[in-house]
Amino acid sequence: TNSYHCWLQYRKLENAEKYSKIASTIAVADDTVVINSAVNELKNALNSMFDITPSVQPFPTNEYSIVLGTYESVDLEEFGIARELFSNLNEEGYLLKYAENQKQVLLIGKTDQGTLYATFHFLRILQREESIDDLEIIEAPKNQLRMMNQWDNIDGSIERGYSGNSIFFNDNDFTNDLTRVRDYARLLSSVGVNAISINNVNVWDIETNLISEKFLPKVKEVADILESYAITTYLSINYASPMELGNLESADPLNEEVEKWWAEKVEEIYSYIPEFGGFVVKADSEGRPGPFTYGRGHVEGANVLARALKPFNGKVVWRCFVYNCLQDWRDRKTDRARAAYDNFKSLDGQFLDNVILQIKNGPMDFQVREPVSPLLGAMKDTNQVLEFQIAQEYTGQQIDVCYLIPQWKEVLNFDTYAKGEGSTVKSIADGSLYGYKHSGIAAVSNIGDDINWTGNTLAQANFYGFGRLIWNPDLTTDEITKDWIHLTFGNDPKVVEEIEYMLLHSWRTYENYTAPLGVGWMVNPDHHYGPNVEGYEYSKWGTYHFADRDGIGVDRTIETGTGYAGQYFEPNAKVYNSLENCPDELLLFFHHVPYTHKLQSGETVIQHIYNTHYQGVEEVEDFIQRWNSLKGKVEDWVFENVKDRLQRQLENAIEWRDRINTYFYRKSGIPDQQGRPIY
């Protein structure tokens, strides 16, 4: 199936003539590994889109050509371009320009990395058959670190993976054939991702050895492939490594032997991989070891690693997903939502400057609807990176279609008011609000070794959209979505219209038939697919909805609740704290209310629950009709793939609807005003 190629299909062009002048020659001004990757990509793409074999020549050449180089290797003055154009661009920026003589298309990076991105951008233009007559585009990424986190285990399984096994690991080793790693690198760099951690954040016994001589040669092989697409490799580490690998008696970050062990370990890693990026660390979280064991905190914990990495320009990505996962549900004052802020806020300014705190977008855990984490923006002297989850753990597991770009846009545009009005999350992530030295956006990957990478082919849109969006958070959802559909499915207007409709409505639809009004959870424990209203209600994870016969919701107000609402800057704190002003979609996240409470929409909570759950199922039925109308217009394999998953989505939605509606009907005793059947 073509689905393997995702948005890099390089379909034959319908109107190839308009570019044919320049498409037969590639003129190359530099010889670097990254530029060679760009040349190869371009060669193969032109071959496939134009059905020609382009000749590759050194620049300069007199031929009509596509020129690949950097602003240092190509004499721009000769093309009437001022070099200063590049002085304001960051290292990853580039220029695309049809030279005035109309003989050369210039793909010019500030560095070779920029050239690679320029090439992928140009290929998008060709595939979408846009005019190049007035081509002049200057681009640079807004975010510095644009990172993918694999949750791959070395046995080949993937934590929260919904599309097969790992492409990196198999049977307690790296996979023999790294072809797919190379193709993955192409997909990543085509959307501008520049860093990756290749193993799960939960590092168990064998994975601990990834930083040992047993595996480092293999890590190097993988890192070389990724590096040839300008992607820096990171590893997740086990905080207890000094004990497990070094036979030390402790992993206390203030112990001198431990400090020395890390310093030597890091030196060893860099002797294999000079371009190594650093460590991703999940410490003192969900049973993983960390500095707490020794009476130390996150600062001491992270800084010992940072000191070791510093001489090599390495970074510590320290995750803030830290909470008490063994809490007593009867203690209503313990609130998991508070945890990240309570753990980290007071540590501002104490981390070394190569430490970056990685913070999930919401305070709980990637639910379909959560408020933005109040920790984002709350530490002005500490580097922060935002974490999204592309893997659809709580959003349909790549069976149900749930396009997350609209959700991420809302997060990025959210105003934290950290430094007054306009302190958006995107301005925190891009480092501009506080002048962070390092910052950016990371996400949990949704790919595996399924032939189409993502299980449901429509889930490719989340991967693509993540890359494009974090390159430039100001792109509109519409632009990103249209690009993905055209590149993946071609230009048939009916196909574009139906798929766009489904994608753009799918997040709301998923929200409609699952947990209502921001309260979250209500999923089956452990695997997290499908409804189970009380699945997490009486357990230790801190994930409750407190539904009883009188009402539902978590009181997180300042006066009578957990006080979580007070973690926000004003006016957000006031808005969330207020029953009247709290947005409907987050009402039950912040307030415990009777079922008859009237929402801002005018509906009661109970009637809203009934309505949205009927509506959610109807919307999935509508998606099915829309998709069925595309039979013969999209590749058969893809048609069947999505059709099959939509059917499973419908079953899932029905089950959710019936369980939720029945549960709340029985609890509240209030019938549906519209008299629809409740089972």
Q: Which residues are catalytic?
A: 286, 365, 393
Q: Binding ligand BDP by CB under 6 A: which of 120, 162, 276, 321? A: 321
- What's the closest the beta carbon of residue 282 comes to ligand BDP, in angstroms? 5
Among 45, 108, 116, 201, binds ligand BDP (CB under 6 A): 201
Residues 208-227 that bind ligand BDP (CB under 6 A): none
Distance CA 334, CA 559 (A): 15
Cα torsion for 551, 557, 561, 562, to the nearest 10°?
130
For residues 594-628, b (16+ Cβ closer than 10 Å) or e, as one string?
ebebebeeebbbbbbbbbbbbebbebbeebbebbe
Q: Compute φ and ψ for 29, nearest 5 degrees.
A: -95, -15
Number of residues assigned to the chain: 679
CB closer to ligand BDP, 386 vs 617: 386
Minimum distance between the CB of residue 404 and ligand BDP, rounded to whole angstroms? 14
By CB under 6 A, tell whether 370 contacts ligand BDP.
Answer: no
Query: In this structure, are residues 91 and 110 in contact, taking their beta carbons and an 8 Å threshold?
Result: yes
CB of 96 to ligand BDP, least distance (A): 38
Q: Which is nearer to ligand BDP, 201 or 554 (CB)?
A: 201
- The distance of closest approach from Cβ of residue 539 to ligand BDP in the complex, given in angstroms and rounded to an integer, is 14
Looking at 160, 468, 545, 657, which residue binds ligand BDP (CB under 6 A)? 160
* Both tokens assigned to 612: 């949205």
Decide whether 93 or 278 has the Cβ nearer to ligand BDP: 278
Q: What angle do CA 128, 129, 131 make, to 5 degrees?
A: 125
User: Cβ 72 to ligand BDP, closest distance in Å?
Assistant: 42
Closer residue to ligand BDP, CB minimum distance, 277 or 520:
520
Which residue, 342 or 584, is less far from ligand BDP as judged by CB? 342
Q: Does 159 engage in binding with ligand BDP (CB under 6 A)? A: yes
Rounded CA-CA distance 429/470 in Å is: 9
Question: Closer to ligand BDP at the Cβ: 190 or 343?
Answer: 343
535 binds ligand BDP (CB under 6 A): no
- Restricted to residues 485-524, the positions that interact with ligand BDP (CB under 6 A) are none
Angle at 154 between CA 150 and CA 156, to 5 degrees: 80
Residue type, 46: L
Enumerate residues 6+ apart whose C-beta is below 8 A from 378: 341, 345, 348, 416, 418, 567, 569
**Using CB atoms within 10 A of its CB, is residue 84 exposed (0-12), middle (13-18) or buried (19+)?**
exposed
**Residue 37 or 165: which CB sits closer to ligand BDP?**
165
Separation of first and last alpha carbons in the chain: 42
Angle at 207 between CA 205 and CA 212, to 5 degrees: 100
> What is the rounded distance in angstroms from the CA atom of residue 389 to the CA atom of residue 395?
10
Indicate whether 393 belongs to the interface with ligand BDP (CB under 6 A): yes
Q: Which of 59, 229, 318, 366 binds ligand BDP (CB under 6 A)?
A: 366
User: Which one among 202, 350, 532, 578 touches ligand BDP, defined by CB under 6 A?
Assistant: 202
279 contributes a contact to ligand BDP by CB under 6 A: no
Return the residue nearest ligand BDP (CB atom).
365
**Residue-wise DSSP of 606-649:** HHHHHHHHHHHHHHHHHHHHHHHTTBTTB-HHHHHHHHHHHHHH
Q: Which of 152, 259, 284, 365 binds ligand BDP (CB under 6 A)?
A: 365
Pick 204 or 501: Cβ nearer ligand BDP: 204
Q: Which is nearer to ligand BDP, 360 or 508 (CB)?
A: 360
3-state SS class at 278? strand
Using CB under 6 A as the binding rule, the residues of this chain from 624 to 663 that contact ligand BDP are none
Question: What is the closest distance, in whole angstroms, from the C-beta atom of residue 49 to ligand BDP in the complex?
Answer: 40
At position 620, the amino acid (one-letter code) is: V
Residues 281-310 that bind ligand BDP (CB under 6 A): 282
Minimum CB separation of residue 380 from ligand BDP in Å reads 25
Number of amino acids touching ligand BDP (CB under 6 A): 9
How many Cα atoms are found within 13 Å in the side-chain-facing hemisphere of 345? Answer: 15
The smaller minimum CB distance to ligand BDP, of residues 312 and 544, is found at 544
Min CB(201)–ligand BDP separation in Å: 5
Q: Shortest Cβ distance from residue 342 to ligand BDP (Å)?
A: 18
Helix or strand (DSSP H, E) at 234: strand 232-237
Taking the complex as a whole, the smallest distance from the CB of residue 507 to ligand BDP amounts, in Å, to 18
Residue bearing tokens 């062009």: 13
Comparing CA positions, the residue from 336, 354, 225 lying closest to residue 281 is 354
Q: CA 94 to CA 121: how far, in whole Å? A: 10
Compute the radius of gyration of the chain from its Cα atoms: 26
Interface ranges with ligand BDP (CB under 6 A): 159-160, 201-202, 282, 321, 365-366, 393
